[in-house]
Amino acid sequence: MRCYLSMGWPTGGGTAFENYGRSMNLWLAETSAAVTNSARERERSGLRLRILLSYHYYRDVDLFDLFGKYFQKPWPDVFLDSGAYSAESQGAVIDIGAYAEWVKHHASIASAYANLDVIGDAVGTERNQRELERRGLRPLPVFHTGEPWSVLERLCDEYPYVALGGMVGKAKQRAQLQAWIAKAFGVAGDRTVFHGFGLTVWDLMCAFRWYSVDSSSWGSGFRFGTVQLFDDNAGKFVKVDLRDKQGAWRHRKLIESYGFAPSDLAIGRCVPTTGAWRGGNPWAGVLSWERGCI
C-alpha cells in the first residue's frame, strides 16, 4: 500500500513544504542517520517518501524548484490533487484550465494525479474528467460517498485506478463507512484498485486491499513537537515527545528499529514554528506510515 502524507498550507502563511524543508536541513546537519533525505539510505532501507500536494495550496509554486532545494534524487513519490475538498470548505473556486496546466507542468514528477472533482455533483465530476482527458491528461476519476453505485460500476469498467472520496469526517460512523467501502471493493472486484482520500482509520486500512491512501493528519503530530512511530509488535502507533529525552529513551528499541537513536528525536530544544518544529525530523511521520503500511 502506498501511503501519502497530504501537505497543506499551514496557519500563518508560507508553504508547509518549505517549513518542513527548513527543519529537514537542520536535521540533516545534526545527525548521520538521515534516512529521510539520503537517496542511498532510502534505497538501503526500502523506505520511500510519499507526499500528496494540492493545486489549491501549491498553484503558485514550482515543485521542481522546491524538490531541487530540499531533496536529493530520486525525489519523493508525488500524488497531485486538485484540492477541491479544501477549496470548497474555504469558498474558493478552482479553474479547470489552470489546474490542467499545473498538472502538465509537473507531470514528470507525479506518479498519479486526480480529477478536479465537484463535491456532491457526480455529473459535474464526470464533466471535469472528460474535459481533462480532452486536454490530453489521464487523471484518476473520483467516486464519492452518497453517489449512485452505477457511477462506480461505469468507472470500474473504464479505469484500472479510481479514487474514493467523501470519507473525511466519517470515522465516527465506522460501521456505515466500512459497509460502504466493502461494497465499493465488491463492485470493483479484480478490475480496479482504489486510492482512499483522507483515510486515516487504521483498521479500515488493514481490512481492505487499498492500492494507496493519504491523510494530512499523519504528519500533524510533528507540528506540536511529537513524532508517531508504528510499533509492528503492538500493532499501534507510539507517540514520542521531541521535548522529552527521558520519554524517548523509554521507546529506545522502537526508535532504533527505524535507524535512529533516542537522542536524535528528543533533542530537548524544539521551538514551534509555522507548520514545523525546528531541529526535528519532519518526515518521521511518513517513514512510520511506510513501516505500518501493508
Q: What is the CATH number of the domain that holds 7?
A: 3.20.20
Name the residue among 235, 186, 233, 239 with its Cα closest to residue 209: 186
Q: Biggest alpha carbon distance in the chain?
A: 58
Provide the pairing of β-strand 161-165 with 50-54: unpaired
Identify whether 25 is part of a domain: yes
Name the residue among 189, 136, 137, 181 with its Cα closest to residue 163: 181
Q: Which range marks the domain in which residue 86 is found?
A: 2-220
Is 125 in contact with 142 (CB distance < 8 Å)? yes
Residue type, 189: G
Identify whether 170 is part of a domain: yes
Identify whether 167 is part of a domain: yes
Instruction: Count CB neighbours of 261 within 10 A.
Output: 14
At a CB cut-off of 8 Å and minimum separation 6, what does 173 contact? Answer: none
CA 161 to CA 87: how far, in whole Å?
A: 24
pLDDT at res. 258 = 67
In three-state secondary structure terms, 32 is: coil
pLDDT at res. 162 = 98
Is 100 in contact with 135 (CB distance < 8 Å)? yes
Identify whether 275 is part of a domain: no
Provide the pairing of β-strand 226-231 with 236-241: antiparallel
pLDDT at res. 149 = 97
- Cell numbers given for 221: 503530530
Instruction: Count CB neighbours of 108 within 10 A.
Output: 7
Q: How many domains in the chain?
A: 1
CA 228 to CA 236: how far, in whole Å?
A: 10
pLDDT tens string, the chain, 294 residues long: the values are: 787 767 765 333 344 444 444 333 333 323 222 333 444 444 444 556 788 899 998 999 899 998 888 777 778 889 999 988 788 878 889 999 999 999 999 999 999 999 999 988 999 999 999 999 999 999 999 999 999 999 999 999 999 999 999 888 776 788 899 999 999 999 999 999 999 998 877 788 889 999 999 876 655 555 556 776 777 777 777 877 767 777 778 888 887 776 667 776 655 443 333 333 333 343 344 334 344 443
pLDDT at res. 222 = 53
- Residue 292 parent element (H or E): helix 284-292
CA 12 to CA 276: how far, in whole Å?
A: 12
Identify whether 272 is part of a domain: no
Identify whether 36 is part of a domain: yes
Identify whether 49 is part of a domain: yes
pLDDT at res. 235 = 75
Q: How far is CA 239 from the centre of its chain?
A: 19
Identify whether 246 is part of a domain: no
Give 3-state DSSP helix, strand, coil % of the chain, rounded to 5. Answer: 45, 20, 35
